[in-house]
């Protein structure tokens, strides 16, 4: 009798449960050069900067005729940008402390100099009146599903999805289905890139949980 071996990494084999219909899934592009990936591979998004919309503005309640803000004309967005509102709060007349959309500090900008941090680049120009402590500036980034490609989680970016079906993205990007939200998954059947540490796996599972993807 031949011995049959079950493919534990078959399409959707890692799923314990998911939302009704197709609400748990999305179709995305897997980044070129990602190699041959199995279903259950843990993925991270990478923004395609040219596809992302970003706008900058000073708070309407700021000191009258104080600083104005503008995105960099050449490279306003980097691949590490996050969707949502970046908030800057003036800590001095020409200094603004910035947080990303998740509330993480990304640095302090100085009026008249380009600021790069958190995946965004902009400059604030001083106005006729100095800013006072508490004045605010904003950068709003809108990342649509088609504005990002996905690659195997390597610890450098948060995990946010799981590959639903295997693929070969060695030489070109390929379109595939992912588990994007509201699912239970079997941890033992998740596939990790080489070199990912135990601590990084723990962090990835925590990150997936913020999207409603719960490991069991």
1 pLDDT more than 70: no
Query: Which pLDDT tens digit goes with each residue over 172-183?
Result: 999 999 999 999
What percent of the chain shows pLDDT beyond 70? Answer: 96
pLDDT of residue 2: 57
Nearest to 77 by CA among 51, 104, 96: 51
102: enclosing H helix or E strand: none
199: which residues sit within 8 A by CB, 6+ positions away? none
What is the average pLDDT across 171-195? 96
* Beta strands, E only, the chain: 15-18, 25-30, 35-37, 42-47, 53-58, 68-71, 84-92, 95-99, 105-110, 114-117, 120-125, 136-142, 148-152, 161-163, 167-169, 174-179, 183-185, 213-215
Predicted TM-score of the model (pTM): 0.69
Architecture of domain 15-47+145-215: Beta Barrel (2.40)
Q: pLDDT band at residue 144, thresholds of 50, 70 and 90?
A: confident
Nearest to 185 by CA among 27, 9, 58: 9
Distance CA 165, CA 163 (A): 6
What is the average pLDDT across 141-159? 89
Query: Which pLDDT tens digit goes with each residue over 79-111?
Result: 889 889 999 999 999 999 999 998 999 999 999
Distance CA 129, CA 154 (A): 47
Domain borders along the chain are 15-47+145-215, 53-142
pLDDT of residue 5: 46
């Amino acid at each position: 009798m031949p011995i049959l071996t079950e493919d534990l990494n078959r399409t959707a084999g890692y799923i314990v449960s998911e939302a009704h219909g197709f609400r748990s899934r999305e179709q995305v592009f897997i980044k070129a050069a990602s190699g041959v990936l199995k279903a259950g591979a843990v993925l991270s998004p990478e923004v395609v900067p040219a596809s992302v919309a970003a706008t900058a503005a000073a708070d309407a309640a700021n000191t009258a005729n104080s600083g104005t803000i503008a995105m960099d004309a050449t490279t306003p967005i980097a691949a590490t940008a996050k969707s949502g509102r970046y908030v800057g709060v003036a800590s001095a007349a020409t200094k603004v402390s910035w947080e990303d959309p998740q509330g993480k500090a990304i640095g302090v900008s100085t009026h008249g100099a380009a600021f790069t941090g958190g995946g965004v680049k902009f400059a604030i120009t001083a106005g006729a009146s100095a800013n006072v402590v508490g004045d605010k500036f904003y950068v709003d980034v809108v990342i649509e599903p088609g504005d990002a490609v996905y690659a195997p989680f390597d610890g450098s970016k948060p995990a946010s999805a799981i590959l639903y079906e295997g693929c070969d993205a060695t030489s070109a990007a390929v379109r595939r289905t992912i588990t994007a939200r509201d699912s239970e998954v079997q941890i033992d059947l998740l596939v990790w890139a080489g070199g990912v540490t135990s601590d990084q796996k723990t962090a990835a599972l925590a990150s997936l949980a913020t999207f409603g993807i719960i490991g069991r």
